[in-house]
Amino acid sequence: MMETKGATYKDAGVDIHAGYELVKRIKGAAKSTYGPEVLGDLGSFGALYALGQNYKDPVLVSGTDGVGTKLKLAFMADKHDTVGLDLVAYCVNDIICQGAKPLFFLDYLAVGKLDPSRAAQIVEGIARGCKEAGCALIGGETAEMPGFYPEDEYDLAGFAVGIVERSQIIDGSKVQVGDRIVGIGSTGIQSSGYSLVRNVFFQRAGWELDRVDPRLGCTLGEELLRPTGIYAREIAALRDDLDLHGVANISGGGLPENLPRAMAEGTRARITRSSWTPLPIFEVLQDVGNISQDEMDNTFNMGIAMAAIVPEAQAEAAVKILEGLGQRAYLIGEVVAGERGVDLV
């Protein structure tokens, strides 16, 4: 009679020992983000974070996001050390729009087959992003899901929590006619619109990641995998020194979609296109894909990562603060009366 080997989890495609190895590899990176507020250790059932007694009327602000189809480029290039930065940026850049100070971050990594080395690169990137944002990477989940994802692919999502005093919440209600809009220059396409990016460059034009366009000054892959900027320090500086009326994270949907979310009813943004020069990648993308200007404006950030709305008298000061922190900053528009929305002129 033939012997039948007993079924194992590893035979089914899940290697729990690879999971143990990953935890060993990432503990140091996670702990490097800890402050005294973090209680306990990585690997507990729940992550503990002490708020302390320094708040009068604190409000927690949360946000969640993913890297999206930019991950496809990481798979193509076999480069996984920057997508974690993108993840933190997209979660943190949302919650700082309400004036929040980032406190802690959690990640979710789902893989077809767990490669501890590759997963460690991803998590180490998340830890670097948390350090830049000033928050702690206190937990996460790595799920090995054979048969659900291809073995060499994964998905990545994150969750950020911050805190703000109730009296200091930024919700756009203070935005008024005459306010000025200050833009912070983006690092590139960042993490939105990559389905269109991939369609244009790889499906329509047949370009490769190592393609060099003189306008970019680097390979296409290097440009497209450039990580998203994290602007917690910059927004905190504006919040602390100025009367910050509104903040918008210019992600998917560009200025037309995102800027109105930071404005009051009865106010409208008038943006002057000539007030900044979009980065070369947008020109290359538009040329190669024959994309209309309206499509570009409503899909990409067009070189503006964040928009801050301040009183007219503080606009120049806002630019100087941002430039002093090493950012490209521009006076890109003003607030006028009208239905909430954006005019690009």
Over residues 128-138, the pLDDT tens digits come to 999 999 999 99
For 180-344, the fitting CATH number among 3.40.50.300, 3.90.25.10, 3.40.50.720, 3.90.650.10 is 3.90.650.10
Intrachain domains 16-168 and 180-344 with the same fold: no
Choose among 88, 78, 149: nearest CA to 118.
78
Do residues 47 and 40 lie in contact, with contact meaning Cβ atoms separated by under 8 Å? yes
**pLDDT tens digits for range 146-171:** 999 999 999 999 999 999 999 999 99
Please tell me which residue, 41 or 14, carries the higher pLDDT value.
14
Helix orientation angle between 83-95 and 116-133, rounded to the nearest 10 degrees: 30
pLDDT at residue 4 greater than cutoff 80? no
Tens digit of pLDDT for each residue in 294-341? 999 999 999 999 999 999 999 999 999 999 999 999 999 999 999 999
The predicted pLDDT at position 167 comes to: 96
- Chain centroid to CA 96: 11
Q: Which CATH architecture has domain 16-168?
A: 2-Layer Sandwich (3.30)
- The whole-angstrom separation of Cα 259 and Cα 266 is 14
Q: Are 79 and 137 in contact (CB under 8 A)?
A: no
> pLDDT of 265-299, one tens digit each?
999 999 999 999 999 999 999 999 999 999 999 99
State the average pLDDT for the chain: 96
- The domain limits of the chain are 16-168, 180-344
d(CA 71, CA 146): 18
What end-to-end distance do the CA atoms of the chain give, in Å?
82
Cβ-in-10-Å burial (0-12, 13-18, 19+) of 257 comes to: middle
Q: Which amino acid is at 17?
A: H
Asked whether the predicted pLDDT for residue 1 surpasses 60, the reply is: no
What does the buried/exposed string (b/e) look like for 208-238 if buried means 16 or more CB atoms within 10 Å of the residue's CB? Answer: ebeeebeebeebbbbbbbbbbbbbbebbbbb
Tell me if 233 sits within 8 A of 326, measured CB to CB: no
**What local confidence, expressed as pLDDT, does residue 202 receive?**
97
Q: What is the pLDDT of residues 64-88, one digit of tens each?
A: 999 999 999 999 999 999 999 999 9
Low-confidence winner among 40-44, 141-145, 211-215, 270-274 (lowest mean pLDDT): 40-44
For residues 338 and 245, the answer to whether their CB atoms sit within 8 Å is: no
Q: Mean of the pLDDT values across residues 221-238?
A: 98
Q: Is residue 245 helix, strand or coil?
A: coil
Rounded Cα–Cα distance for residues 151 and 335 (Å) = 50
Confidence check: pLDDT of 226 > 80: yes
Note the pLDDT of residue 158.
98
Which DSSP symbol is given to 336?
Answer: E
- Structure confidence at residue 3 (pLDDT): 56
- The SS3 call for residue 275 is helix
pLDDT band at 191 (very low <50, low <70, confident <90, very high): confident
pLDDT at 2 over 70: no
Question: What percent of the chain has a predicted confidence (pLDDT) above 90?
Answer: 96
CB neighbours of residue 187 within 10 Å: 17
Tell me, what amino acid is at 94?
A: D
Note if the pTM is more than 0.85: yes
> What pLDDT is recorded for position 44?
85
Structure tokens at 243: 């009367």
